[in-house]
Each structure stands twice: as C-alpha cells, then as structure tokens.
C-alpha cells in the first residue's frame, strides 16, 4: 500500500521500530532525529520483563502480547540487517526479603516460587537479606545498547528509510484540525517547514513539548556497567530499585535510579552513583569487586499510570507512540506493529481495538472527570 509519506518524529527505538514496520508495508518513511545518543533505546538495560516488573491489567496484557511478539520481530530485523540483536532468554529472578511479600507480588502466579536454598542455586553469592524469590523463565533480555539499535538502523536503511540527523522539531503545523507539517531546525541552525500530512510522534520524554496535552514527563535514570567473569551471573536479578542484567560476554548492566525531580537535568550525580553501588552490594556483594566499564544516564518518558500512549491524537494525521516509561524495549515491536497496522488501514480485531482504546492519549483526562462525578 503506497499512501502518503510518513514522517517519524524521533529517532529512538520506538521511532526506528515504527519506521521499519511502515517501510516493510511499502510506505515512504523519513525519520527526524535530534541526538540519537539521548534516545532511551540506547540507555535502557533491555529487559523483557512484563512479569518481573509486576505489571497488571491492560499493561500486563500489552506486555505479554509484546513478549510473545519479540522473537518474530527480532527475526525480521536480523533478516533485513544481517546483524544480531542480542536476544537472550536468560530468565529473570525477583528476590524478596520474606515469602509473604513474594506471594503478594502481582504476577506471582506467573512465576516459579523459590526459597533461599533454590535462590542460592540460581544466584550464587546472592545477598543474605533475600530469603525468597520468583523465577520468571519466560522473561528475558536483549542487548539494545550495543546490538538492537544498530541492527534496527541497518534494517531501516535496507528498507529505504530516509534519515535526517541533527534535526530539532520546533513545532507542529496544522490547518483545520489536520497536520500540515513540522517546523524544524537543522544542524546548521536553519529553520524551515517540512511538509507532511501524516506523522508519528515518537519523541519519548520530549513528546509533550510538541503536543502539550500529552501527560508525559521525564524520569531521569542513571546506570553503569561492570565487567564480570564470563558466566559469573546467568540470570537477571530484578531487585527493588536496582537490577543486574548479564550479557553473554560477561558485561553486566546495572540500573537504574529513578529521579522524577531531576527533569531534563543532564549528567551523573554522586548520590545517584552511590544509590547504584548500594543496590549492587545488597543484591550481589561479590559484584562490588567487578571493575566498572561505563556510566551513563537517560530519561524515561512517564505518564501518570506509567503506560504508553498509542494510536490517534487530537490532530488528524498525527499518530502517537510514546510514554513507554520502563518498558519501551519490551513493547517496541508490538507498538510498531499496532501503529503500522492502523496507519496503513489494516483491519483490527476486537482485542487490538480494545488494547488501543486502553492506551488512548486522553485516558487521564477521562479518568479525572470520572473521579469528580
């Protein structure tokens, strides 16, 4: 299906995923990207963890459908790019200080209950405070930072996606309630209007700057990586406030602080790094001796209910795929499939319609009205 050219506003993981799916459906696609390095897809840990995260309700449904979609989505990217995405079904363990807390976990019935002895077999050297746990074998990880993003960029290029780098989108232009273009500033400081009648807003934590009615705010997160002996940690440890994600080559990604008060303040902070070190010491004391490799930060796009914003917007022709908070890597594939399907006019089954309805941009406004009645 040919259709109008589509402009993707944001060159992060979600933007690239949507661009790739649209291009696979025969659409002409241009991706506008300001600074690729600041995209959440480059800074996240890459956990695929709807169950370990303890998601509930519509978010759990979206997360589970996303998890089921991952293998075929990755296969498409790898086929188009010729590059590995670093997908691993390592399983994720959530530790608890007592069995009662484990059993109250929202997704406890989806995992395998572990006692202290079983925890020690799965995670040798686990901190003494943790006496119970849940193993989610179905959850996993993907090396988004080093592999997935590069493979997805290559897959987009293979499908003819056009990239405009160093472009800052200043404003959306509309007429009669419909999208007419995007006012942009290029890397040389020149302002101009890029005409378009169809676009997808995938600007992550910056999305509300272009569409102020979106309730999306940045939540800063600081992270670091350690070099462990290969095979020293086989499972992801998803602790309260800190997680350790082991890559196949022994690199362990450690995250992440949660700093909503920081806004868009860039840079590492001593307090943030101390928080991460304390989490490492609590979860896996031996890891405090593993040499640090890198430290970085990023901004999660967070909505009031921490779920994404998907589908149509208040402007005809402008579609939304943003606000994924902690689960952008998990939900990127399904988000791209849903948006590409809607934009190209594919028939939607009732389950998909219900899911898109649950993640409308104006659901918070409707909830606020309901609560005052």
The residue with greater pLDDT, 171 or 2, is 171
Question: What is the rounded CA–CA span in Å between residue 258 and residue 273?
Answer: 12
pLDDT digits (tens, 9 = 90+) for 254-309: 999 999 999 999 999 999 999 999 999 999 999 999 999 999 999 999 999 999 99
Which is nearest to 39 in space by CA: 204, 157, 201, 221?
A: 204
Whole-number mean pLDDT of the chain? 94
Please, what's the b/e burial string for 62-71 (b: 16 or more CB within 10 A of its CB; e: otherwise)?
bbbbbbebbe
Report all structural domains of the chain as residue ranges with CATH numbers, in order of start.
6-84+145-216+305-372 (3.50.50.60), 88-141+217-301 (3.30.9.10)
Which is nearest to 223 in space by CA: 196, 194, 251?
A: 251
Cα separation of the two ends of the chain: 45
Phi, psi of 147 (to 5 degrees): -125, -55
Residue 131, SS3 per DSSP: coil
Alpha helices in the chain (DSSP H): 13-24, 40-43, 57-81, 99-104, 116-122, 149-158, 207-210, 270-283, 328-343, 350-358, 363-372
Question: What is the rounded CA–CA span in Å between residue 70 and residue 52?
Answer: 16
Question: What is the rounded CA–CA span in Å between residue 257 and residue 9?
Answer: 27
Rounded to whole angstroms, what are the CA distances from 297 to 9, 36, 238, 277?
A: 22, 14, 19, 15
Question: What is the rounded CA–CA span in Å between residue 332 and residue 254?
Answer: 21
Question: What is the rounded CA–CA span in Å between residue 279 and residue 257?
Answer: 10
β-sheet bridge partners, residue 182: 172, 194
pLDDT digits (tens, 9 = 90+) for 320-367: 999 999 999 999 999 999 999 999 999 999 999 999 999 999 999 765
User: What is the model's pLDDT at position 370?
Assistant: 41
Can you say whether residue 168 is alpha, beta or left, with left for phi > 0 and alpha for psi between -120 and 50 degrees? beta
Q: Spell out the residues 6+ positions from residue 7 whose beta carbon is closer than 8 angstroms to its own.
A: 29, 30, 31, 32, 182, 194, 196, 198, 199, 200
Question: What is the rounded CA–CA span in Å between residue 336 and residue 163?
Answer: 18
User: Sorting pLDDT into bands at 50, 70 and 90, what band is 44?
Assistant: confident
> 368 pLDDT exceeds 70?
no
pTM across the whole model: 0.95
């Amino acid at each position: 299906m040919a259709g109008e050219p589509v402009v993707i506003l944001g060159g992060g993981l979600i933007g690239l995923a949507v661009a790739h799916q649209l291009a696979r459906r025969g659409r002409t696609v241009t991706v506008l990207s300001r600074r690729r390095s600041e995209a959440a897809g480059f800074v996240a840990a890459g956990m695929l963890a709807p169950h370990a995260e303890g998601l509930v309700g519509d978010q759990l449904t979206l997360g589970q459908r996303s998890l089921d979609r991952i293998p075929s989505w990755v296969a498409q990217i790898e086929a188009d790019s010729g590059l590995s995405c670093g997908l691993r079904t390592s399983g994720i363990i959530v530790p608890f200080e007592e069995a009662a807390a484990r059993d109250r976990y929202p997704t406890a019935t989806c995992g395998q209950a572990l006692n202290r002895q079983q925890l020690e077999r799965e995670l040798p050297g686990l901190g003494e405070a943790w006496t119970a746990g849940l193993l989610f074998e179905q959850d996993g990880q993907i090396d988004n930072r080093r592999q997935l993003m590069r493979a997805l960029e290559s897959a987009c290029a293979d499908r003819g996606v056009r990239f405009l780098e160093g472009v800052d989108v200043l404003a959306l232009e509309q007429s009669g309630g419909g999208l007419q273009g995007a006012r942009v500033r290029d890397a040389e400081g020149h302002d101009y209007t890029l005409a378009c009648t169809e676009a997808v807003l995938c600007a992550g934590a910056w999305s509300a700057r272009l569409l102020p009615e979106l309730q999306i705010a940045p939540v800063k997160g600081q992270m670091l990586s350690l070099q462990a002996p290969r095979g020293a940690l086989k499972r992801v440890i998803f602790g309260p406030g800190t997680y350790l994600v082991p890559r196949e080559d022994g690199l362990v990604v450690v995250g992440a602080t949660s700093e909503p008060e920081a806004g868009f303040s860039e840079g590492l902070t001593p307090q943030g790094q101390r928080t991460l070190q304390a989490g490492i010491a609590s979860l896996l004391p031996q890891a405090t001796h593993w040499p640090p490799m890198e430290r970085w930060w990023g901004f999660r796009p967070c909505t009031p209910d921490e779920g994404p914003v998907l589908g149509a917007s208040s402007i005809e022709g402008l579609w939304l795929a943003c606000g994924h908070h902690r689960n952008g890597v998990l939900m990127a594939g399904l988000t791209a499939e849903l948006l590409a399907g809607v934009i190209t006019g594919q028939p939607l089954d009732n389950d998909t319609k219900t899911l898109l309805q649950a993640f409308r941009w104006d659901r918070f406004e409707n909830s606020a009205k309901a609560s005052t009645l």
